[in-house]
Amino acid sequence: MTHPDPVRHPFEAAEASAAALAEATGVERHDLAVVLGSGWKPAADRMGDVVAELPMTDLGGFPEASVQGHGTTVRSIANGDRRILAFMGRVHLYEGHHPNVVAHGVRTAVRAGCGAIVLTNAAGGLRPGMRPGQPVLIADHINLTGRTPLLGPNDDRLGPRFPDMSTAYSPRLRALARSVDPELEEAVYGGFLGPTYETPAEVRMAATLGAELVGMSTVVESIAAAHAGAELLAVSLVTNLAAGLSDEVLEHEAVLAVAAESADRMGGLIAQIVGHI
């Protein structure tokens, strides 16, 4: 049976993937989903007991992830009486994917019953005082990708034509996260298309616009989550200072190294937060 195309039929594709997930895991509904960014994969080991793990491609609508540091499986995890859906990586716009393909994981999670979505990523820090290895809550974003998963005719089954983004990053969940770790700071995330790291001039532009973090993911998924009415929490791990703010050469391997050093702590943080949602 041919799986619906998430580009032309995003609702049907998400429904079909959610049904395939329920059949493969034996779990009819999950409570919340976590999408793991660059280098965050080991963090999933701290989230609970893995009930099932399967390739995302088995669910239909998911292409193979091609970026180092991103996994290609999805886990069903038991955390107390909650069931977590953990995507062990993501695909990106810069890999050539349509925004609906990038958003397919979030939409599948919502159709699988998830009322809350936790997005994670690796990001460059702009704000003075930010340091590599620091987790930061995203309070808002600036979409500099020029892409959105809502382009074209709206499917009301996914969400309204004109979704409100003013509280897309749930104030309730951010307050909950700060109750778990009072030292968590908040920042505005500037989402770039990539795959080049931002130029120093682009970093200065982003800072002028109000961005305090920069990266190449998250904004498309955040729009899809808000469109679907899901509560959203997003956490960036600062893996480097943004271009022009230090003398270091930006390399993906260095980003992954910082993420690996922080993975256990980040997994514990996310597990605690998830346990309170």
Cα 104 from Cα 98, distance rounded (Å):
10
Establish whether 143 is a catalytic residue.
no
Catalytic residue among 121, 222, 236, 240: 240
Preceding peptide of 195 cis, ω within 30°:
yes
Catalytic residue among 88, 122, 130, 243: 122
- What does the block give as tokens for 170? 């749930």
Catalytic residue among 94, 139, 186, 261: 94
Cα 275 from Cα 265, distance rounded (Å):
15
Distances (CA, A) of 223 to 99, 101, 117, 249: 10, 13, 12, 31
Catalytic residue among 170, 217, 222, 262: 217
Cα 8 from Cα 264, distance rounded (Å):
39
CB-neighbour burial class of residue 201 (10 A; exposed 0-12, middle 13-18, buried 19+) = exposed
Catalytic residue among 19, 22, 186, 252: 252
Establish whether 141 is a catalytic residue.
no
Catalytic residue among 92, 98, 104, 141: 92
Establish whether 189 is a catalytic residue.
no
In the block, residue with structure tokens 């260095």: 254
Tell me if 226 sits within 8 A of 124, measured CB to CB.
no
Cα 153 from Cα 132, distance rounded (Å):
41
Catalytic residue among 216, 224, 225, 259: 216
Cα 247 from Cα 238, distance rounded (Å):
16
Establish whether 97 is a catalytic residue.
no
Catalytic residue among 17, 47, 70, 198: 70
Establish whether 186 is a catalytic residue.
no
Catalytic residue among 14, 20, 38, 141: 38
Distances (CA, A) of 86 to 153, 160, 186: 30, 26, 23
Reference 230, options 131, 85, 123; nearest CA is 85
Establish whether 38 is a catalytic residue.
yes
Catalytic residue among 12, 95, 185, 186: 95
Angle, vertex CA 39, rays to CA 228 and CA 101, nearest 5: 35
Establish whether 98 is a catalytic residue.
no
Cα 1 from Cα 256, distance rounded (Å):
38
Provide the annotated active-site residues. Answer: 38, 70, 92, 94-95, 122, 216-217, 240, 252
